């Protein structure tokens, strides 16, 4: 499928990332955007090539793509792959491991000696790569929030922090870490929590595709459709800025080439609307299958976001209120720390929630909140926030 290139954005971000004098860029850059809005496409198709064009060594790890693997391993593997591409670096490793006489074709230095708690630490490996190539390294971690769902992932982030601090000082050529994520609450834990590897790294909203993209869509529609970007922008917003939905609208128009502009606009709008509607209905149907307590926990968490305190008495009361008053159900199971914990675990297993190694929960993706909002399930009761350290309001 053809894609729309975001050259100007790639240039702007590349300048920001590589700028040596820009202190914040040295601590890393975190980009947050919703699911399916084109983050990975942009990173791979526009940002990586631009960074390479400017001479950087770019390492890309998508922690979402390889979901069955530990995120820590995905990061380490991406680094090993890049190291293996540089013959001179491999030779240096081999020499430092006392393998002077081993040539490249033989059983030489194998990359599994690089990693956490291994002979060659990530910081050392990256420093050697940077020194040997005399170039800055940019490590892009896509969907970085997955790293803090496992111990190994968290440790890999700490190792990267150590590497970043090492390479950005002294005689090396610098290491920049760019991370993306599709839920701001999760990403925020990486940069706002004092014990996190990227505490204080700047976080930016990754801008959704804009009017230039919509113009590109208009050009790809049959001429008779006479679409215009202005009219499409409301629909694009309705799609949650997902390019796939615009493509589905285009596919509907590709069936004919003798539209009137009114017909074309109506068909495009209907396609998006029915897609939006079915996405929400599907999610609501899944939510309808949850137990009363699971459903209440999900809705209270969605309504309260980062202020959600799952186990406090007042929150437990809120769950009861939602079940009894909003849903008209009897509370026939006890609501206590154990049952709420079980509900949280079940919601995680069903793909509604995400859990960090610290045990903090967040919605798996923003779309769940949207569906709950549209289904009018985020009622006043769900928003009864428990304020820590204060009397109940
Ligand atoms: N610039 C673009 N032009 C055209 N189509 C695009 C563009 N960017 C993304 N898409 C399409 O949108 C879909 C989602 O893109 P992508 O996987 O990059 O998004 P994402 O935000 O990384 O998604 P996820 O949240 O699943 O990781 C893909 O089908 C992709 O082809
Ligand atoms: Mg992606």
DSSP state of 97: T
Domain end (from 142, 170, 205)? 205
> Among 275, 293, 178, which residue's Cα sits nearest to residue 236?
275
Distance of CA 255 to the CA centre of its chain: 35
- Structural domain includes residue 389: no
What would the mean pLDDT of 225-247 be, rounded to a whole number? 94
List CB contacts of 59: < 8 A, sequence separation 6 or more.
Answer: 78, 79, 81, 82, 137, 138, 139, 140
- Structural domain includes residue 118: yes
Q: Which of 6, 219, 243 to mutate to test the pocket of ligand 1 (most atoms within 8 A of CB)?
A: 243
Given this model, what pLDDT does residue 89 score? 79
The ligand 1 atom nearest the CA atom of 209: 1
How far apart are alpha carbons 41 and 60 in whole angstroms?
12
Given this model, what pLDDT does residue 201 score? 74
Distance 244 CA to ligand 1 centre (A): 7
Distance between terminal CA atoms of the chain?
54
The ligand 1 atom nearest the CA atom of 33: 21
Q: What is the dihedral of CA 234, 235, 239, 241, to 10 degrees?
A: -60
196 and 220 fall within a common domain: no
Distance 232 CA to ligand 2 centre (A): 24
The ligand 1 atom nearest the CA atom of 244: 12
pLDDT in tens, 265-321: 999 999 999 999 998 999 999 999 999 999 999 999 999 988 899 999 999 999 999
Q: Which of 35, 38, 46 to mutate to test the pocket of ligand 1 (most atoms within 8 A of CB)?
A: 38
The ligand 1 atom nearest the CA atom of 37: 21
Q: Is residue 352 within 8 Å of residue 299, measured between CB atoms?
A: no
Given this model, what pLDDT does residue 384 score? 85
pLDDT in tens, 84-94: 888 887 777 77
38 and 186 fall within a common domain: yes
pLDDT in tens, 156-178: 988 998 888 889 887 889 999 99
Given this model, what pLDDT does residue 24 score? 58
Average pLDDT, the chain: 88
The closest residue, in CA terms, to atom 9 on ligand 1 is 38
CATH for 339: 1.10.10
332 and 225 fall within a common domain: no
pLDDT in tens, 12-58: 999 989 887 765 567 778 888 888 999 999 999 999 999 999 999 99
CATH for 200: 3.40.50.300
196 and 250 fall within a common domain: no
Q: Where are the beta strands (DSSP E) in 73-166?
A: 137-142
Given this model, what pLDDT does residue 333 score? 87
16 and 150 fall within a common domain: yes
Distance 337 CA to ligand 2 centre (A): 35
Distance 133 CA to ligand 2 centre (A): 29
Host domain of residue 274: 211-286
Given this model, what pLDDT does residue 34 score? 84
100 and 141 fall within a common domain: yes
């Amino acid at each position: 499928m053809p894609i729309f290139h975001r050259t100007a954005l790639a240039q702007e971000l590349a300048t920001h990332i590589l700028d040596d004098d820009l202190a914040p860029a040295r601590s890393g850059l975190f980009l947050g955007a919703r699911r399916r809005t084109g983050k990975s496409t942009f990173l791979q198709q526009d940002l990586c090539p631009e960074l390479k064009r400017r001479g950087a060594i770019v390492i890309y790890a998508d922690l979402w793509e390889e979901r069955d693997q530990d995120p820590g391993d995905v990061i380490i593997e991406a680094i090993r792959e890049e190291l293996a591409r540089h013959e001179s670096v491999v030779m240096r490793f081999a020499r430092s491991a006392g393998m002077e006489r081993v040539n490249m074709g033989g059983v030489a230095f194998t990359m599994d000696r690089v990693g956490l708690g291994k002979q060659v630490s990530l910081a050392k490996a990256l420093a050697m790569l940077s020194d040997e190539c005399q170039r800055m390294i940019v490590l892009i971690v896509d969907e970085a929030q997955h790293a803090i769902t496992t111990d190994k992932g968290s440790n890999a982030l700490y190792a990267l922090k150590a590497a970043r601090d090492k390479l950005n000082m002294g005689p090396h050529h610098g290491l920049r870490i760019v991370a993306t994520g599709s839920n701001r609450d999760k990403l925020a834990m990486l940069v706002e929590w004092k014990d996190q590897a990227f505490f204080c790294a700047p976080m930016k909203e990754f801008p959704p595709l804009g009017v230039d993209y919509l113009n590109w869509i208009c050009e790809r529609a049959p001429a008779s459709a006479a679409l215009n970007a202005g009219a499409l922008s409301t629909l694009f917003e309705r799609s949650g800025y997902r390019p796939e939905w615009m493509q589905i609208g285009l596919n509907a128009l590709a069936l004919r080439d003798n539209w009137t502009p009114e017909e074309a606009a109506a068909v495009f709008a209907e396609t998006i609307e029915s897609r939006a509607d079915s996405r929400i209905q599907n999610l609501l149907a899944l939510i309808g299958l949850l137990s009363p307590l699971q459903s209440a926990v999900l809705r209270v968490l969605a309504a309260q976001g980062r202020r959600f305190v799952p186990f406090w008495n007042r929150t437990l009361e809120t769950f009861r209120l939602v079940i009894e008053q909003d849903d008209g159900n009897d509370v026939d199971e006890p609501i206590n720390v154990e049952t709420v914990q079980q509900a949280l675990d079940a919601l995680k297993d069903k793909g509604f929630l995400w859990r960090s190694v610290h045990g903090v929960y967040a919605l798996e993706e923003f779309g769940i909140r949207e569906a709950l909002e549209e289904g009018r399930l985020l009622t006043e009761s769900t928003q009864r926030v428990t304020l820590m350290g204060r009397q109940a309001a």
